[in-house]
Structure 1
Amino acid sequence: MAPHQLTLSVVVISWNQCRFLQRLVEQLIAQEFDKNRFDIIVVDDGSTDGSREWLGSCDPSRVRSILGKEDRGRAASRNAGILASNRDVIVMIDGDHTINPDFLFIHAERHERERCVIVGKSDFVDHPDYRALNHYLNNGGAVKLPRNAKLPGRYFLTRNCSVPRDLLLSIGLFDESFRRWGGEDLDLGVRLEKSGVPIYGEPRALAVHHHLRPLDALLEQLYDFGVDAVPLLLSKHPQLYSEMKLDRIVARPGERVLCGRSGIFYIYRCLLCAAIYHSIRGLALLFRRRRLPRILFDYLHFRQYALGYLSALRRSG
């Protein structure tokens, strides 16, 4: 396909983010990119803050809106936007982000070079009370790998990415079984990796995330992710046992555990104990205005989804 023919649909999902959504849509309309080569599709998931009324006032030739029912989930919302598109590439971004004027140009440029999946950089907005946590979140995933390195599927993030639409259709879109926070992007990323189409990070395609979550709120979400999403992820992609380090706390179904592995299980399960967790969490909160070693947040992140997963195993009997 000739470069000038490539077209984009920007799929924005939003729930009760009217103030942020207005700013993002204005920035999309003002992009330094041919207006005939992209459209904007906003999928609202049952907002009650005036978002729907504002979307109704937008020029329908520039902004198409899909008004969904509350609580249908992020996967279903994204699928609705993808299916409403007839463009070549789907650019996905969440409604609480802001972007630079060349954002779409950079995404399009990468797809014109080769058939690929692009993960842009999504940085949390600077705030002194979130400095430690945001530094950790802003410097994980694709940032840890060399520029132009192929990314593993687990580094795929939907809050700033672009994927050929026909590729999304061919692998089955998002799995709408993931209804709560987390899991749907990891599942899709693994399936994209299996498709053989390379996934690349693109730090120039920067989006700034304005929804700041306190550490305790994030830790609660990670626990719920372990309860609700991780069992489904592991049933679909068994290799995630090792990639998520869960093979260090529990055997895979049907796996015979040797004596040495039992010792590893014991050590790692001790690390999940409340005393260690609350000590590390306390340090992260106390020094939240400083940059802290990544290992502290790595531990908190792992501990919460691992504990949630163990809870799910106990419930399932």
Structure 2
Amino acid sequence: MVTQKPEVDATIIVPSYRGVDRLPQLLDSLADQQDGTPSFEVIVVVDGADDGSVALLENETRLDLRSIVFPENRGRVAALNAGFEAARGDVLIRCDDDLVPGPDYVSAHVNAHRGSSGGVIGLYLNEYSTTPYAEVYGRDADERFRRDAYSAAPSVVWRYWAGNCSITREVWESVGPYDPEYRLYGWEDVDYGYRIIAAGFEVRLAPELETPHRVAAVTTAIRARRAFHSGAARRLFERKHPQAGLPSAVPGWSLWNALVRGLSRVPLNPARLAGVVDALLRFLPRGVGRKLVALSVESSALGGYRSPHTAKENF
């Protein structure tokens, strides 16, 4: 059997929901790739609720660009699968619409797959606007996250699969689409990273692929709501992959963890409770504010994990 040569070296798949304000900077960055960049196409999947994104994409002439437009919101997993299935490239790059790729972005992703087949992750370089949440918690948490990621054992790197990553076509054809059971926020990416290694391929972090990211979680309320949904999605992941060896989602016993456990049982919308924290941050000492944000986020994640059936009600 003769394998047909891909029509382009790489395809960039961009899932986008209400992205008209984010897409211009992304498209500008992709149009400004350095000389000698491997050939690439861009597929933007507009996930319903057209806010002007369709016209913006139709007027883009600098890129080899196609758009797929859903008539209604179907979720990020459906958008990703539609983009990957339409791709013509050999290297398939997942790129969220709030990333700001550098001029070597495509080259670096393609080069990361030279001589090997598997998955490659570039971490986000989160760019925060100046908010109380960012000042007391967000920036420090982001630095800790990246430090922990780069010190992680190779066997667990798959847990960092997210919105700046790439696979070869061989991996896509072997692993298949993202799992449509993940409907709310979180863990569809982790699920895919795990399935890559379960299929016998390597997943690795590439520091050269770190990419600026215009972070969306700019308040405690937003971060807590996402943590709640992520906790619920983790329960789904554990049901699907009990052999994955995740550490326990329920924290051990300590005074701090007792507070987390107790607050996770409070039957309140996590975003509403965290909104109170946001209102207080301007008036509290930095250390106290940091503790309150951490308590809100950690208890929300545990609450979602314990009560996954309530996730849609709190979306």
From 168, 179, 186, the equivalent of 1:175 is 179
Q: Cα distance 1:193–1:300, how it changes in 2: closer, same or farther (>3 A)?
A: farther
The answer to whether the 8 A contact 2:14-2:97 is kept is yes
Find the aligned partners of 1:177 and 1:248 in 2 and give their Cα distance.
Answer: 26
Identity, % of aligned pairs? 24
1:273 maps to 262
2:299 maps to 303
The answer to whether the 8 A contact 2:117-2:170 is kept is no
2:269 maps to none
1:259 maps to none
Find the aligned partners of 1:243 and 1:287 in 2 and give their Cα distance.
Answer: 38
Matching residue's letter, 1:218? R
From 211, 214, 217, the equivalent of 1:207 is 211
Deviation of 1:195 (Å)? 2.3
Deviations 1:174-221 (A, max 9, x none): 001111111210111111122232221122212222143212111012
Find the aligned partners of 2:32 and 2:156 in 1 and give their Cα distance.
Answer: 33
Secondary structure, counterpart of 2:178 in structure 1: coil
Matching residue's letter, 2:99? H
Find the aligned partners of 1:53 and 1:91 in 2 and give their Cα distance.
Answer: 24
Q: Which runs of 5+ in 1 are unaligned?
A: 250-263
Find the aligned partners of 2:220 and 2:262 in 1 and give their Cα distance.
Answer: 19
Q: Cα distance 1:177–1:275, how it changes in 2: closer, same or farther (>3 A)?
A: closer
State the aligned residue count. Answer: 295
Question: In the TM superposition, what are the counterparts of 1:34-183 in structure 2 within 5 Å?
Answer: 34=36, 37-59=39-61, 62-129=64-131, 130-141=134-145, 143-146=147-150, 150=154, 152-183=156-187
Q: Cα distance 1:270–1:210, how it changes in 2: closer, same or farther (>3 A)?
A: closer
1:23 maps to 25
Task: Report the TM-score when normalising by structure 2.
Answer: 0.78
Q: Which runs of 5+ in 2 are unaligned?
A: 267-272
Find the aligned partners of 2:205 and 2:287 in 1 and give their Cα distance.
Answer: 24
Deviation of 1:20 (Å)? 1.7
1:218 maps to 223
Deviation of 1:143 (Å)? 3.4
Q: Cα distance 1:145–1:61, how it changes in 2: closer, same or farther (>3 A)?
A: closer
Matching residue's letter, 2:95? I
Find the aligned partners of 2:87 and 2:149 in 1 and give their Cα distance.
Answer: 32
Deviation of 1:293 (Å)? 11
Task: Report the TM-score when normalising by structure 1.
Answer: 0.78
Deviation of 1:244 (Å)? 4.4
Secondary structure, counterpart of 1:97 in structure 2: coil
From 14, 17, 22, the equivalent of 2:16 is 14
Aligned-residue CA RMSD (Å): 3.8
The answer to whether the 8 A contact 1:10-1:91 is kept is yes
The answer to whether the 8 A contact 1:13-1:95 is kept is yes
> Higher mean Cα deviation, 44-53 or 71-80?
44-53
The answer to whether the 8 A contact 1:11-1:40 is kept is yes
Find the aligned partners of 2:243 and 2:294 in 1 and give their Cα distance.
Answer: 20
Find the aligned partners of 2:291 and 2:155 in 1 and give their Cα distance.
Answer: 21
Deviation of 1:132 (Å)? 3.6
Matching residue's letter, 1:52? V
Matching residue's letter, 2:183? R
Deviations 1:227-258 (A, max 9, x none): 3x233212101145x62423658xxxxxxxxx
